[in-house]
Every structure is written in C-alpha cells, then in structure tokens.
C-alpha cells in the first residue's frame, strides 16, 4: 500500500486534530477570517456614501426602472438617462446603454419609486440576504446543521473573499444569480423539475450567462424543467414588453447587448475565453474605461472575430462531454457552472462567486473521500489562486507598463504581461477538471461495505 506523503498527513492532522494547541490555532484562524469578513463588509458599505454610490453598477438598474416610470426608452445611453433623471454621471462611467436584459426592469421597477440613495441601500440589503440564503442552502446540502450562528459565520467567511466584496461594492446581480442557481440545482437534484426550471429561468432572464445549464437539462432529459425554464423566459420578456414595447425588447437582444459586448470584449478585466481571440489579434483595451492596454500578439484584426469563437466552442464541447460522464448530477451541474463562467461574452472578477457551487461540491467530495493526497493538494492550490484579488493582478501588470507610452485609455504593457489577467480563467478550468476527477474516485470499501460517506454523493438521475 502506498504511504501518504508527510504533507498529506499534516493536512489531515490539522483538520481533525483535537490537540488543545491545534484546536486553539484553528479557532484563531476562524476568528481571523471572520474579522476579515467584517472588514470586507465595512469596506463595501463605503460604496453607499453619496459620493461613491453614483459609481456603483446599480445605477444601471435604477435608471432602467426610473426610465420606464417616466416613459423614457430604458435603453437610452446611461449618461443621457442620468442627466435627465438623477444628475450627471462621473466621466468615463457607463458610456453606453444598460447591458442588463429587459426582465431586470421587472426586478428593479419598485426601486424606481425611491430616491437613488434609498434604492442603493435597499439593494445592498437585498444582496446580503441573497448571500445568507445561498450559504444556508449550501450548508444544508452539505449535511451540516444550518443554524443561525453557523450561517452568519460562514457568511462572514464568504464576505472575506474579494469577489463578494466587489459584488457588494458595485451592486450587481450575481448574488441573486448565485441564490437562484443553488436553488435550481437543489430542486433539480431532488426531482422537483418544474421548480428547478422556474428558478433557472429566472437566473437566465436576469443574467443570460447561465444558458449552458439548459444544455445539461436537455442531455439529462429533464423535459419538465426545460419547459418551465422556457415559460419563465417567454413570460418575463412578454410581461416587460407590455411596459416598454416589443420592439424595445427585441432591440436589446439584437442591438444593445451585442454593442456593449464589443466595448468590453478585449478589456483586461474580462477573462472570458471570448476575449482571448480579440487580445491576440486586435490587442487589449477598451474605449470606455481607463485600463491596461497591450498591442496584439499578431496584428490581424480580421481574424479576431473568428478566432474568438474557437475556444468557447471547444470548452462547451469538453464541458458537455465531461458533464455527461459524471456519476452524479451534482458534479455535472458544477462542471457546467464552470463552463458558464468562461464562455460568457464578458466575465468580471465578481462573477467568480458562482464558482462557490463547484467549490462546495469538490470540498464535500474530498472530505467524503478522506482527503486524497493529490486532489486535496490541487484543491488547496486552486483555493490560493482564487484568493488573489483582481486589484493585485492589475498592480502586477502595471509594474511592466512602459512609462513613456501612455495613451488616453491607460498604460501600455507587453502582450505577454496581460496573460496575468487570465489567471482566474485558468483557476476555473482547474476547478472544472478537479471536480471531474474527484467524482471518478471510488469510495474506499471495508469488509465489502461502502463507506458511510458514500451516501453524500449518491447519483441523482
């Protein structure tokens, strides 16, 4: 029998040891992470101050609602809407129409009756409640007793992770999407297809990036869930069409959405696989933000639009292949969540909070398998990579900037340096293949009986 490595034994000893010193050390670590979460929350609340709140992404949702209530086209460019409804936006902020789909208006419409400052506070509280719900559902699925104290502690742990802090700071839609996707996953694995489909439909209606999960439903032949998802999408868009008109809804999907995507497709903060082709053949940068720029590796702009499609198509194909060869629905859902993150046209750093779903699945499986050495070490490595803030990656890239070459869009760095900004994408790929790996490891058997942990990951058909 192969002996476990010293590092592997050390990891297991730290996690399960009841030695008083080790227990005290673990408690201190928990307290430190909790304090970090509180500090992160405090930093996020600074975004609610009047001079900061106008810079939040949430201004897009508010202006959509306010425009509908006042009879203005909600997809008028945001600076023009702001001038007419709440006052001018800061320079170089949102120089385009809102990128969010029409069903978002249904969600934000009640906030249009409030002042912007009031609405921003309400949305912040709503996002916190979404995080609490997500943590509760994940703890419940993990088999832990999800009492209020544990939920609050784990929520602080989540807030200590920079994507959650960024999400709360900008006031985006990802915490809501996280709660909806977790709810959909839990309903689907329990055989409640219609409820699961409704929740997935809501997630796609508010943020289109979750559409690859529909492919999983098709391959798993969950027809009722597919029907429920489709019904929600049609109903949501049909309902908002009564307020803004069918032509405005159609124009968003045909014109506005693609237009906004083109503005950020090669931005260094966008680590979607779609961005790679544009970076390689057209260069890194965006006309609407001051950020790191880089020349193309090969000057061939005409090839960019074609090459940009190749990697997302390959990943989608590989993701579907892996998802259909997993032993559990949990693993297949986690894999397709990773695919969702990487083949979205734009993937910001705060989108990483959706990775909490596959992360939780991997952790539960690792503990059920009694922490296999290679997979546990890889999980630790990926965890450390995920903990690197986007701001740190930006600072590292700026260290290589040519001080003599600064254009209106920001500092310029060599093409190779911008690969640093793709580190989160590499971590998501690693997480996807780790999830596939741990799903394939059989549980240890003793005396012909399965490990009790085997029940933790029983397949759900």
Q: What is the 3-state secondary structure (H, E, C) of 139-205?
A: HHHCCCCCCHHHHHHHHHHHHCCHHHHHHHHHCCCHHHHHHHHHHHHHHHHCCCHHHHHHHHHHHHH
Any bridge partners for residue 411, and if so which? 406
Rounded CA-CA distance 149/172 in Å is 27
- Give the single-character DSSP code of 234: H
Residue 95: pLDDT over 80: yes
Range in 8-22, 302-316, 364-378 the model is least confident about: 8-22
Q: What is the pLDDT of residue 21?
A: 72
What's the pLDDT band for 76 if we cut at 50, 70, 90? very high
Could you tell me whether strands 445-446 and 410-411 are parallel, antiparallel, or unpaired per DSSP bridges?
unpaired
Q: What is the pLDDT of residue 449?
A: 34
First CA to last CA distance, the chain: 35
Kindly give the interhelix angle for 162-170 and 20-45, rounded to the nearest 10 degrees.
20
What's the pLDDT band for 28 if we cut at 50, 70, 90? confident
Q: What is the pLDDT of residue 19?
A: 67
What's the pLDDT band for 16 if we cut at 50, 70, 90? low
The stretch 375-391 carries a mean pLDDT of: 94
pLDDT in tens, 192-228: 999 999 999 999 999 999 999 999 999 999 999 999 9
Residue 58: pLDDT over 60: yes
**Which two three-digit tokens encode residue 211?**
């559409």
Q: What is the pLDDT of residue 402?
A: 76
Q: What is the pLDDT of residue 66?
A: 96
287 SS3 class: coil
Q: What is the pLDDT of residue 458?
A: 38
- Spatial CA neighbour of 261 closest among 97, 408, 420, 76: 97
Q: What is the pLDDT of residue 408?
A: 54
pLDDT in tens, 168-188: 999 999 999 999 999 999 999
**Which two three-digit tokens encode residue 18?**
């009841």
> What is the CA 36 to chain-centroid distance, rounded?
21
pLDDT in tens, 389-425: 999 999 999 998 876 665 556 789 999 999 999 999 9
Percent of the chain whose pLDDT exceeds 90: 75
Any bridge partners for residue 445, and if so which? 450
What's the pLDDT band for 15 if we cut at 50, 70, 90? low
Helices (H) and strands (E) in the chain, counts: 22, 4
pLDDT in tens, 250-278: 999 999 999 999 999 999 999 999 999 99
Rounded CA-CA distance 49/148 in Å is 30
Residue 304: pLDDT over 70: yes
Rounded CA-CA distance 345/315 in Å is 13
Percent of the chain whose pLDDT exceeds 70: 89
pTM above 0.85, yes or no: yes
């Amino acid at each position: 029998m192969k002996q476990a490595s010293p590092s592997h034994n050390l990891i297991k000893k730290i996690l399960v040891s009841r030695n008083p010193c080790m227990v005290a050390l673990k408690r201190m670590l928990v307290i430190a992470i909790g304090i970090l979460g509180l500090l992160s929350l405090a930093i996020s609340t600074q975004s609610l101050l009047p001079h900061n709140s106008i810079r939040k992404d949430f201004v897009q949702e508010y202006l959509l609602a306010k425009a509908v209530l006042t009879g203005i086209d909600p997809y008028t460019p945001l600076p023009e809407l702001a001038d007419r409804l709440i006052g001018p936006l800061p320079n170089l902020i949102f120089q385009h129409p809102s990128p969010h789909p029409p069903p978002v208006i249904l969600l934000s419409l009640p906030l249009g009756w409030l002042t912007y400052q009031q609405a921003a506070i309400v949305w912040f509280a709503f996002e916190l409640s979404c995080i609490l719900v997500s943590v509760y559902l994940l703890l419940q699925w993990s088999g832990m007793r999800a009492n209020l104290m544990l939920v609050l502690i784990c929520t602080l742990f989540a807030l200590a992770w920079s994507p959650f802090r960024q999400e709360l700071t900008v006031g985006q839609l990802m915490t809501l999407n996280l709660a909806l996707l977790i709810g959909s996953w839990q309903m689907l694995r329990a055989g409640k297809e219609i409820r699961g489909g409704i929740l997935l439909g809501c997630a796609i209606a508010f943020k289109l990036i979750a559409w690859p999960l529909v492919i999983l439903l098709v391959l798993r032949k969950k027809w009722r869930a597919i029907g429920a998802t489709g019904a929600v999408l049609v109903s949501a868009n049909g309902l908002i069409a009564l307020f803004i008109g069918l032509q405005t809804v159609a124009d968003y999907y045909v014109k506005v959405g693609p237009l906004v995507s083109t503005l950020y497709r090669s931005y260094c903060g966008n680590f979607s696989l779609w961005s790679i082709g544009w970076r390689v053949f057209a260069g890194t940068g965006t006309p609407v933000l001051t950020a790191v720029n880089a020349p193309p590796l090969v000057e061939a702009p005409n090839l960019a639009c074609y090459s940009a499609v190749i990697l997302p198509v390959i990943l989608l194909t590989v993701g579907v292949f892996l998802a259909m060869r997993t032993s559990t629905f949990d693993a297949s859902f986690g894999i397709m969540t990773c695919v969702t993150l990487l083949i979205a046209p734009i993937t910001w750093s705060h989108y990483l909070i959706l990775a909490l779903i596959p992360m939780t699945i991997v952790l539960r499986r690792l503990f059920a398998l009694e922490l296999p050495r290679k997979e546990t070490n890889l999980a630790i490595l990926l965890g450390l990579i995920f903990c690197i803030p986007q701001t740190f990656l930006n600072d590292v890239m700026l260290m290589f900037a040519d001080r003599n070459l600064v254009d209106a869009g920001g500092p310029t760095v060599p093409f190779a340096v911008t690969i640093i900004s793709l580190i989160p994408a590499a971590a998501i790929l690693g997480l996807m293949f780790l999830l596939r790996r741990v799903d394939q490891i059989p549980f240890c058997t003793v005396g012909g009986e399965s490990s009790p942990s085997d029940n933790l990951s029983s397949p759900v058909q």
